[in-house]
Amino acid sequence: MEFNIALLRGDGIGPEIVDSAVAVLEKTAARFGHTFNFIPYLIGGSAIDKTGMPLPQETIDGCLASDSVLLGAVGGPKWDDLPGEKRPEKALLGIRSALGLFTNLRPAKLYPALRGASPLREDIVGDGFDLMIVRELTGGIYFGDRGYRQGKYGEEAYDTEAYSVTEIERIGRVAFETAMKRSRRHTSIDKANVLESSRLWRKTIHSLAEEYPGVEYNDMFVDNAAMQLVRNPQQFDVIVTSNMFGDILSDEASQITGSIGMLASASLGASTRGMYEPIHGSAPDIAGQNKANPIATILSAAMMLRYSFGLSEEADCIENAVDKVLEAGYRTADLLGGAEGTPLTCTEMTEKVLEAL
């Protein structure tokens, strides 16, 4: 099979980790008889430097013409003084909207080999955990009306949270379908005791739950969910929540796995085309030093094979290779966490995964 993949290397460590994932994809393609065509486009700070804008139209058109998109990371202190509409991070909201990517799938898995790297006690993590956060991606407060106005105490800023039944239903259905393919446990996170938008969210998800009688379903307030993630993460399997709550909770979930450098994500819409990226940032402090952990991006590439291309066996192959490398004790600096040992470089870790393939 042949697929066209748009590469958005971005800023900071983005080029390094994307190139690592490309190497793994190329070896996987050779092993299984596929052809992956990689077409690079500009995004974020690198796009600003060359075109004056974080998301050029050429990038949007190229991504729309591709079978899927692989993204590194955007942003850095070089562009911190730019106004909000001109910042590199604005490109992320723009490309998600342009591609119609309303769902973000973010797995948070604690590998048995990395139990010692989790900040949680061993009696809490047990044999590890494996949960999936399904985050609504193109609605809510990040896309609502915003601005400045004169308020009770003078000038004030405002951001608006709004959700329609349609937006809630479509993300809720993704979550229930995901739960059906896993352990059939589903938790919806909201703040229905305070927010009107959350009350509509809960009402809509309750109605949708009637279509999935085989799924064990419950609600949870977001503040309790934040506490429960560190108290007993094993109680969760599939979590569905709004854009802002998902942004916060998924980052919390990433930390209890031991390293943010391990976690992949998939952004999906109504078509098979998706955008795949590690959840960590551009890490400008180590950019160009060959220190980055490429595993999250490699696992993001595996998710692309699984969710966009329907190549589950190939995705399993990559994920199993990562498992073997970790079980063998190989670690990048972020996975050592101050423990004794010599960390592998980004290149060396990539080579270990390639060997395991």
Phi, psi of 243 (to 5 degrees): -60, -55
- Could you tell me if 173 and 208 are in contact, meaning their C-beta atoms sit under 8 angstroms apart? yes
Distances (CA, A) of 316 to 2, 215, 357: 19, 25, 10
Q: How far apart are the first and last CA of the chain?
A: 19
User: Catalytic: which of 67, 163, 191, 291?
Assistant: 191
Q: Is 111 among the catalytic positions? A: no
Q: Is 190 among the catalytic positions? A: no
The residues facing 217 across adjacent strands are: 186
User: Catalytic: which of 61, 80, 159, 223?
Assistant: 223
Q: Is 127 among the catalytic positions? A: no
The residues facing 220 across adjacent strands are: 189
State the Cα–Cα distance between residues 269 and 112, nearest whole angstrom: 32
User: Catalytic: which of 217, 247, 307, 334?
Assistant: 247
Q: Is 237 among the catalytic positions? A: no
- Could you tell me if 36 and 96 are in contact, meaning their C-beta atoms sit under 8 angstroms apart? no
Radius of gyration of the chain from Cα atoms? Answer: 20
Q: Is 247 among the catalytic positions? A: yes
- Could you tell me if 331 and 42 are in contact, meaning their C-beta atoms sit under 8 angstroms apart? no
State the Cα–Cα distance between residues 126 and 110, nearest whole angstrom: 10
Q: Which two tokens stand for residue 66?
A: 């591709």
Q: Indicate the length of the chain as a whole number.
A: 357
State the Cα–Cα distance between residues 275 and 95, nearest whole angstrom: 9
Of 301, 242, 239, 240, give the one whose Cα is nearest residue 266: 301
Give how far the C-alpha of residue 351 lies from the chain's centroid of Cα atoms, to the nearest Å: 24
- Could you tell me if 225 and 194 are in contact, meaning their C-beta atoms sit under 8 angstroms apart? no
User: Catalytic: which of 27, 78, 130, 251?
Assistant: 251
Q: Catalytic positions, please?
A: 142, 191, 223, 247, 251
